[in-house]
A = this chain, B = another copy of it.
């Protein structure tokens, strides 16, 4: 086993939402180190063009490569949807996993009636990337996509268990439910934080697919296949093998991270990402 195994995984998102992916990696691959970058200065990506998102993603990959990583997880649906090819190119030979394909694969395995709903940002829905990924696996699937632009600000406002949030969820989901989907992909990294609320509103008969969890599962399989799994346990008393970087407001970043992660983030470091 070479030293490459012990290098961290680079994880990035347009902002805070990708921390739900980092959380699943921490839970499911506890031996792996993580370098997380959240582009909070330029969030949200959801309303930006492909060209802009490609440029931003390339800058982030160039930054992550300065941190000596062994693989990249694109924990941002919009960047995965619009810039995965550019990211792979910029990454050179390093393995790259996006958040779209793992969720699409599980949705196809879970659906019984072939009707799959996808909720996400306007850009992700407009890109048809989930329906393309689903149709590549299950050409006969019926996919209904619905953009839910109010979900992210509702989560960031902290209105997670709230009558207004329930009304907005139902406003967005009514159309999807009328379509009689039996499987629903939570296609934006913030949305798993609304999962309990969505579950109680849609009932138990609909399978909710959490791409953050499925991405961690895919990452594990990929690391195993490429013999890149870290098998070296941290020494007792060593600091958490997680480093956090952000392009703006490190304190606000750390506050949100501490509210959803199982560890104490301590602090995040500021990166002038435009210079990469």
Listed in ascending order, the chain A residues whose CB lies under 8 Å from chain B are 40-43, 47-49, 52, 149-150, 153-154, 156-157, 164, 167-168, 171, 248-249, 252, 274
Contacts and interface: CB of A to CB of B under 8 A. Distances in A.
Contacts of A43: 47
A48 B52 contact: no
A156 B46 CA distance: 13
B47 A249 contact: yes
Contacts of A49: 41, 248-249
Integer count of this chain's copies in the complex? 2
Contacts of A249: 47-49
26 contacts: A40-B47, A40-B48, A41-B42, A41-B48, A41-B49, A41-B52, A42-B42, A43-B47, A47-B249, A47-B252, A48-B248, A48-B249, A49-B248, A49-B249, A52-B248, A149-B156, A149-B157, A150-B150, A150-B153, A150-B154, A150-B157, A164-B164, A164-B167, A164-B168, A164-B171, A167-B167
A52 B156 CA distance: 20
A41 B55 CA distance: 11
A142 to B, nearest CB: 26
Given A52-B41, A168-B164, A153 B149 contact: yes
A157 B149 CA distance: 7
A168 B48 CA distance: 26
